[in-house]
Structure 1
Amino acid sequence: MKTFDHLSVIGLREWVALPDLGLAGLRAKIDTGASTSSLHATEVEPFTRNGERWVRFNAHLGSVVQMRHRRCEAPLVAMKTIKSSNGHAQVRYVIRTALALGDRVWEVEFTLACRKAMRYRLLLGSKALVHGQLVVNPGLKYVQDKPAFPATITPSTGAA
């Protein structure tokens, strides 16, 4: 069996933060079957700032029982057609922002989608796992400590 020392182990669920958006204490579901990561967002509005495309949106945190939200703004990276597991296609806004998980911080692309029917407000897909140099042990949950907030990005390794 091969082992890789430079990879960190995470569980099927982890605590994360999105420091550039001012969001902490998010429970993330790790989904290796999804390529792209997704953030629960509503009232998404595109706008222009200094000639560049941006979006503002309500990012939702907490649970269905204790719902909280924060108004956020981020540069718009792209519009992407996402196909769900049931074959339904949807065009979504894509942003790139810092993600903090454990002691690592790195840039991740998120599609903005209504996830109100989902238990977890943030889904972390396989591209984010590759860039963060993470492996998933599906038998574990909340392996990493809650990220320190605010966190800053560190060069190349993604380690804080």
Structure 2
Amino acid sequence: MKRLTAALLVTTLLLPVGARAESPATTKASVPETLGFVEWVVMNDTGLQLKARMDTGAKTSSLHAVNVEEFKKDDQKWVKFQIPLADHKDHPAEGDIDHEEVIIELERPVERTVLIKRKGAPSQRRYVVMMDFCIAGTSHETQFSLTDRGNFSYPVLLGRRFMRDDNILIDSANSFIAEKECEYISLEELAEQHGAQIQKDGKSD
């Protein structure tokens, strides 16, 4: 079988209220929930599964993103960005599609920007957006700063704001201890549901 040669571009826009697919209810637990220092998360708008590390040293959560570009929409500041799955091959793959061929493109309104001081490198200004995600069977919403995490082990960091707002405790000695799972879709379903065009040898299939 011929190898897929062109990148698969999956475009997901922020849907109007009421237009999103149903997801688990977002509720703040009355009793703290304990999670491991690494857990699976699923980005709700796409069904993409990624590994997330709990980072008590960071206030704001962080999401791997490249080609971040600002634009105007309805007189508001928005950003578009890409998540290339070749950088983090967490999402289950079956069939003929490889992670290297899949790029997810997202658009979100900008909540704010933050200036990150980095040791031995110039300070970096990052865009912060709101994202819905599922962890341990429950949906949450929190702020994510967008940055290239291609050289790091985890595409997602979840910071103290998420832990505080959603009553989360962290077991730093264990990972993947969540009792419930979040539903994700396969790589092939991800491409199909978001209208991706698969190309073989430069020609549309």
TM-score bracket, normalised by the shorter chain, equals 0.7 to 0.9
Structure 2 vs 1, CA of residues 87 and 34 (structure 1 numbering), >3 Å: closer, same or farther? Answer: farther
SS at match of 1:140: coil
Partner of 2:174: 140
Which of 17, 32, 42 matches 1:7? 32
Structure 2 segments unaligned to the other structure (5+ residues): 1-28, 91-97, 186-205
Compare the two structures and name the one with the higher strand fraction: 1
C-alpha RMSD over aligned residues: 2.3
Q: Is the 8 A contact 2:47 2:183 kept in 1?
A: no
Task: Percent identity, please.
Answer: 28
Which of 63, 85, 108 matches 2:89? 63
Q: Is the 8 A contact 1:60 1:121 kept in 2?
A: no
User: Mapping of 1:1-160 within 5 angstroms?
Assistant: 6-20=31-45, 22-61=46-85, 62-63=88-89, 66-67=99-100, 68-84=102-118, 86=119, 88=121, 89-144=123-178, 145-149=180-184
Worse-superposed segment, 103-112 or 58-67: 58-67
Q: What is the TM-score normalised by the length of structure 2?
A: 0.64
Q: Is the 8 A contact 1:39 1:112 kept in 2?
A: yes
* Runs of 4+, deviation exceeding 6 Å: none
Distance 2:83 2:166 in 1: 23
Partner of 2:191: none
Give the deviation of 1:87 after TM superposition.
6.8
Q: What is the TM-score normalised by the length of structure 1?
A: 0.81
Structure 2 vs 1, CA of residues 43 and 95 (structure 1 numbering), >3 Å: closer, same or farther? Answer: same
Tell which structure's C-alpha radius of gyration is larger.
2
SS at match of 1:116: coil
Q: Is the 8 A contact 1:25 1:146 kept in 2?
A: no
Structure 2 vs 1, CA of residues 83 and 146 (structure 1 numbering), >3 Å: closer, same or farther? Answer: farther
Q: Is the 8 A contact 1:6 1:133 kept in 2?
A: yes
